[in-house]
Amino acid sequence: MIAPLLGTVLLAAPATALAHAFGEPVQLPMPYGLYIAGSVLALVLSFALLAIGGQPGSKLLSGLNAYRTLPLPAWPARWLDRARAAGSALWLSALLFCIVTGLVGSNDSHRNFNMTFFWILFVLGGAYASMLIGDWYKHQYPWRFLLPRGWTGIRKYPRWLGHWPAFAQLVCLIAIELFFHSTPRKLALLLLAFGIFNLAGMWLWGTRRWLQRGELFAVLFRLFAACAPIRKIQSADGKYRWRMAFPFSDLRRLRLVHPAQCLFVLFLLSSTAYDGLRETAVYFNLFWQDPWGILTAAFGDHPLKIYPQVRPWFIAWEMILLIASPFFYLLLFVFFIALGRSLTAGKQSIALLLCRYLPSLVPIAVVYHLTHYYTLLFSQGLKIRGLVSDPFGWGWNLFGSAITGRLPWLPDMANIWTSQVLLILVGHVAAVWLAHQQALNIECNSRRATLSQLPMLVLMVVFTSVGLWILAQPLQG
């Protein structure tokens, strides 16, 4: 009974972070099984604490939901407003420069400026900056100068279209990154296509509407910004203030009402998990060792012996799994929601419960993303200093900082592992808290809310256990 359950949630586990960057086994301070046991215990204790002291109006919930506003001096507020255009111009110039360097520069991914700048600094750095300081992209999107200010479009945005354009772009971007060997030239063409697509969307339906629903990075960075502990707000008196709150607390107000919004969150989670799963021996052997002889019978020989012939089918297999992964998560999540509803004999529709509870998966998606990719900011992102001196890969040394071949600075691997454990634990605890908040609003009764969340606790425990186990595999050699 346990084995099928673990197999079912294997895809839902976090990615094997840093499998690409570290090849040597690492001696952890204690067996990783103790990390898993400690994390599960902390998760269960957090649930118990919410169940006991998390009644509506309690000091515990009041403290977790509290926030403070701090005055922001007038000159930084004015400076930030005036910097919007400058920031937009900077990002537009940088992306155009990425296209130029990709088209005419070296096609070596490690020597061309565009690969590191776009994938590491813009995509990863932009997401993590949003998580810390809020939705900066909303004010500094690079398309500001390419259409008239306040452009409202020539058509009314179709309601059925919703967030499908952003979701489709996310799927394409992840598929290209995972399955197709990216080069500076391919990236330049991708950026051209991305720019043309989004400019067409803004021209048709207006800048504001497209940034809300259609532009990938506007939607992605806004999702990360919902986790930020700090944001700038304008009060009733017209003055700007900083609002400080617990990380992830703004997700209480997030409503995912369109199917594409739900799939966007689920795909952000499932694609990161899938990227880790495909690095494991289990995943490799399932296809290439052909344990049931299906491929051998189809091709007339073992797949490893005819690798070039089978490789295209393997790519197709991987893409099918990637596209199917958010639907797997959806079915799994719906199952546990329905199980919780049955425990309380609730009458709410599954669609309503899905809309209310799905934002609780955002902290998990964000921390899985962090654990999988954040070290790339150290291993590859620091190279930008040298790439600025030689952006085309032509052997220049404009600022005397060209790449010398030295390895980038990296923290101790045991410390990285500890930070990953803490991140995953924090994400799951935040998910339990957010789900408990929604359960209180739906059930209006602490006992029923706790009862409805017991299946979700089981799911979180399995996610945490299997996830940390997979995360530790590269460390064990």
pLDDT tens per residue across all 477 residues of the chain: 333 333 333 333 333 333 343 334 455 666 667 777 887 888 888 888 877 766 655 555 555 555 666 665 555 556 666 677 888 889 999 999 999 999 999 999 888 999 999 999 999 999 999 998 888 898 889 988 888 888 899 999 999 999 999 999 999 999 988 888 889 999 999 999 999 999 999 999 999 999 999 999 999 999 999 998 887 666 666 666 777 778 888 888 888 888 999 999 999 988 988 887 787 777 888 888 888 888 899 888 898 899 889 998 998 999 999 999 999 989 989 999 999 888 888 888 888 888 888 998 899 889 988 888 888 888 888 888 889 999 999 989 888 887 765 555 666 777 787 888 888 888 888 888 888 888 888 887 778 888 888 888 888 887 777 777 767 665 554
Spatial separation of the C-alpha atoms in residues 290 and 296, rounded to whole Å: 7
Handedness of CA 45, 47, 51, 57 (dihedral sign): positive
Q: φ, ψ for residue 5 (rounded to 5)?
A: -65, -45
Helix H or strand E segment including 234: strand 230-234
pLDDT of residue 105: 93
Spatial separation of the C-alpha atoms in residues 17 and 276, rounded to whole Å: 7
Query: Does residue 161 come out as left (phi exceeding 0), alpha (psi in the -120 to 50 range) or beta?
Result: alpha
Question: Residue 4 is encoded by which pair of tokens?
Answer: 């099928």
**Predicted model pTM:** 0.85
Any residues with CB less than 8 A from the CB of 7 and at least 6 apart, and which?
none
pLDDT of residue 476: 54
Any residues with CB less than 8 A from the CB of 104 and at least 6 apart, and which?
392
DSSP conformation class of 15:
P
pLDDT of residue 244: 77
Question: Residue 98 is encoded by which pair of tokens?
Answer: 């990425």
Strands, sheet with 240-245, edge to edge from the N-terminal-most edge strand = 67-71, 240-245, 230-234
Kindly report the number of other CB atoms within 10 A of residue 432's CB atom: 23
pLDDT of residue 66: 58
pLDDT of residue 237: 64
Radius of gyration of the chain (CA): 24
Spatial separation of the C-alpha atoms in residues 424 and 447, rounded to whole Å: 27
Q: φ, ψ for residue 425 (rounded to 5)?
A: -65, -45
Q: 27 burial class (0-12, 13-18, 19+ CB within 10 angstroms)?
A: exposed
pLDDT of residue 202: 95
Spatial separation of the C-alpha atoms in residues 402 and 396, rounded to whole Å: 7
Instruction: Answer yes or no: are the C-beta atoms of 204 and 153 closer than 8 Å.
Output: yes
Helix/strand/coil for 230: strand
Question: Residue 199 is encoded by which pair of tokens?
Answer: 């400019």
Query: What angle do helix axes 164-179 and 184-205 make, rounded to 10 degrees?
Result: 180
Query: What angle do helix axes 350-357 and 307-344 make, rounded to 10 degrees?
Result: 110
pLDDT of residue 65: 59
pLDDT of residue 10: 31
Question: Residue 100 is encoded by which pair of tokens?
Answer: 């130029």
Spatial separation of the C-alpha atoms in residues 443 and 261, rounded to whole Å: 25
DSSP string, 397-419: -TTS----SPPPP---HHHHHHH
Spatial separation of the C-alpha atoms in residues 13 and 366, rounded to whole Å: 13
Question: Residue 477 is encoded by which pair of tokens?
Answer: 């050699």
Spatial separation of the C-alpha atoms in residues 249 and 425, rounded to whole Å: 16
Q: Pairing state of beta strands 240-245 and 230-234? A: antiparallel
Helix H or strand E segment including 69: strand 67-71
Q: φ, ψ for residue 244 (rounded to 5)?
A: -105, 130
Question: Residue 138 is encoded by which pair of tokens?
Answer: 């909303």
Spatial separation of the C-alpha atoms in residues 176 and 170, rounded to whole Å: 10
Spatial separation of the C-alpha atoms in residues 148 and 144, rounded to whole Å: 8
pLDDT of residue 460: 83
